[in-house]
Chain A
Amino acid sequence: MSVATATRQESLAVPFSPRWLAERLSGAVLHVVVIGLTVAWMVPAIGLLITSLRLPSDIANSGWWTALSPPFKFTVDNYSQMLQASNLGQGFFNSFMISIPAVIIPVTIAAFAAYAFSWMKFPGRDWIFLALVGLLAVPLQLTFIPVTTVFVKLGFTPDHLTAIGLPPFIPLWLAHAGYGLPFSIYLLANFFRALPSDLFESAEIDGAGMLTVFFRIVVPLSVPAIASLVIFQFLWVWNDLLVALIYVGGTPNVAPVTVSLVNLVGSYGQNYQLLTAAAFFSMIVPLVVFLSLQRYFVRGILAGSVKG
């Protein structure tokens, strides 16, 4: 059954009949739309890349697309200058120090929570879940002052944490975990809920406890959902400027790469060609993360579990 449906359905229409033409045409239209959207989405990134390879004087005088016609005057000066002038090495290190725990912590908590919300019965479950999803609507900015106040009262400031020998990134880990949790739980709970209930009942009869079911059945089957969540959360934390600035300020030993990037412009006035080079440089990491995780987006990971 699955074999038959899995093979692509070939058109049965007679060549050059109206139906055949309609099928071809709708296929062509679909392709044009998809390619058009892809190009439209990529234009800014390509512009950024080309700008970063141009001389400052050219950037100031003409649009980036003019560089696409001869004479070509590309240069990597911006990159070498940017690497020498800034504190980007430290920034990258800090970004990793912030991002990795700020991804692991919320994704782990969210996976446990989502499992409970989708497959365990406890009083008020649906109301708590609803409240949690409601938190998605709370604007980030609303939380800055109360959370900062709490952090300061608890001594969760970079200086104080360094002084007592703890990593200065703790406030950011907690903040990002908090901001990421509602969405993470929502996404994973929806995914877990869609797993066939027969699997859970079968495991129950087989004698698997809650934790065994979670680690041996739910997590392996949810790799695609968890991988996409990791990408979302990583991109959000990596690209974040606001949260980092608010909770740890611009202190160089804590500031992530986004903060260093902003400082480049600040300290070099109009030299924003450095910003383009640095921005493109900082995109490398998210790209690597995305490309390395995309192989987990295997469709049909549930194939063969239920139904014939």
Chain B
Amino acid sequence: MASVTYDHVVKRYTADVTVVKDFNVEIKDKEFMVLVGPSGCGKSTALRMLAGLEAITEGQIRIGDRVVNNVAAKDRDIAMVFQSYALYPHMSVYDNMAFPLQMQRMPKSDIDKRVKNASRILGLDNFLKRKPRALSGGQRQRVALGRAIVRSPKVFLLDEPLSNLDAKLRGQTRIELQKLHRDLETTFIYVTHDQVEAMTMGDRIAIMNAGILQQVGTPGDIYDHPANLFVAGFIGSPTMNFVPVTTSDSTAKASGFEVKLPKSVPAGKGTLGFRPESVTDRISDQTGTLDMKVDVVERLGSDQFLYGQVGSDSVTARVDPKMKVEPGDTVHLGLDTRTLHLFDSQTEQALI
């Protein structure tokens, strides 16, 4: 149990190739922190630097109060679950879990106790004698978790642990991991490219892009108040609508509609952002209106998404599933003005 601090951390492979740039995050004790971003954004590198698998070019990483830059991986008191699980294929499940403890020269009886305890938590009791190849993907994944649990580390590192599971199992494991986090009361740092995993599991989320940390915050915070265009587009599914607008005072004029902004902004050009659920068939005094020519209708049972054109801009709307719409129709929809975002066209930073 410990906090983790990234203090101006830089990872540079060559003079021109910098994969992590000035990375600053403070991860609290017992927190479930998710590092999320598209592939190649440096999130795995950030994790691997903490694990001790990559050298830190500049800056400091601290676990608790201890600077770990020059501490060997095995002495950092961390455990890591790899995307590929990295189980030792020639060892039984029991030996896989016992391996890190054997390396610490722990007495056999203690090892046995810990392995049995971990296998009970993970429901692996009946598989202890099996080799990894005789296990299903989900079971292997739990063995990998077990190998981390037995060490009772200060920090758990998980590098895309769910990406090799099928969709259904992924959903279950997501919930199990959250329970595990609660039971173990340990700091979890979880790397993923999947924003759904990030939103559902993280106490807080750190979003990275191109080696730069974009925003850190709770899932709700990031969803409602994205700091810039990238974050706004990355989080949420279907993605946020982005429409180029011209602003003057507190109105924004797009190609096909005009809305009142919640606060006044300097006149100029910008990108208006609004989530599909802000465009609905409900019209009130809180909404602006727009007319959308529908191209595609997606009925999900609980939701109905409309994809179409407003003026010359593509817009996605989320309407009542009961609403009768066919492709080709033009529908009159309301746009909730309280949830509008405006991004500077140059810096892409959020203005509202």
Could you tell me which A residues sit within 8 Å of B by CB distance? 1-2, 196, 198-199, 201-208, 212, 216-217, 220-221, 300-308
Do A304 and B134 contact each other (CB < 8 Å), given the known contacts A205-B52, A205-B79, A207-B74? yes
Do A308 and B131 contact each other (CB < 8 Å), given the known contacts A206-B99, A301-B90? no
The 8 Å CB contact of A305, one of B80, B86, B147, is B86
Could you tell me which B residues sit within 8 Å of A by CB distance? 51-53, 73-74, 78-80, 82-90, 99-100, 103-104, 131-137, 140-141, 147, 164-165
Contacts of A306 in B (CB 8 A): 82, 84-87
With both beta carbons as reference points, the residue of chain B lying nearest to A303 in the complex is identified as: B133
B117 to chain A, nearest CB (A): 18
With both beta carbons as reference points, the residue of chain B lying nearest to A195 in the complex is identified as: B89
Are A221 and B90 closer than 8 Å at their CB atoms?
yes
Are A199 and B86 closer than 8 Å at their CB atoms?
yes
Are A198 and B84 closer than 8 Å at their CB atoms?
yes
Are B131 and A304 closer than 8 Å at their CB atoms?
yes
Bound-state Cα–Cα, A307 to B100, Å: 21
Are B89 and A305 closer than 8 Å at their CB atoms?
yes
Are A2 and B133 closer than 8 Å at their CB atoms?
yes
Are A304 and B135 closer than 8 Å at their CB atoms?
yes
Are A207 and B104 closer than 8 Å at their CB atoms?
yes
Tell which of B78, B83, B85 has the most Cβ of chain A within 10 Å.
B85
The 8 Å CB contact of B74, one of A199, A206, A220, A304, is A206
B143 to chain A, nearest CB (A): 10
Bound-state Cα–Cα, A198 to B132, Å: 15
Are B137 and A207 closer than 8 Å at their CB atoms?
no
Are A198 and B86 closer than 8 Å at their CB atoms?
yes
Are A300 and B133 closer than 8 Å at their CB atoms?
yes
Contacts of B100 in A (CB 8 A): 205-207
With both beta carbons as reference points, the residue of chain A lying nearest to B105 in the complex is identified as: A207
What are 21 of the A-B contact pairs (CB < 8 Å)? A1-B137, A202-B147, A204-B52, A205-B51, A205-B53, A205-B100, A207-B103, A207-B104, A208-B99, A212-B103, A220-B90, A300-B133, A302-B89, A305-B84, A305-B85, A306-B82, A306-B84, A306-B86, A307-B164, A308-B140, A308-B165
A245 to chain B, nearest CB (A): 43
A121 to chain B, nearest CB (A): 11
Are B82 and A301 closer than 8 Å at their CB atoms?
no
Contacts of A302 in B (CB 8 A): 89
Bound-state Cα–Cα, A263 to B141, Å: 64
The 8 Å CB contact of A217, one of B88, B131, B140, B141, is B88
Do A301 and B137 contact each other (CB < 8 Å), given the known contacts A201-B53, A205-B51, A206-B74? no
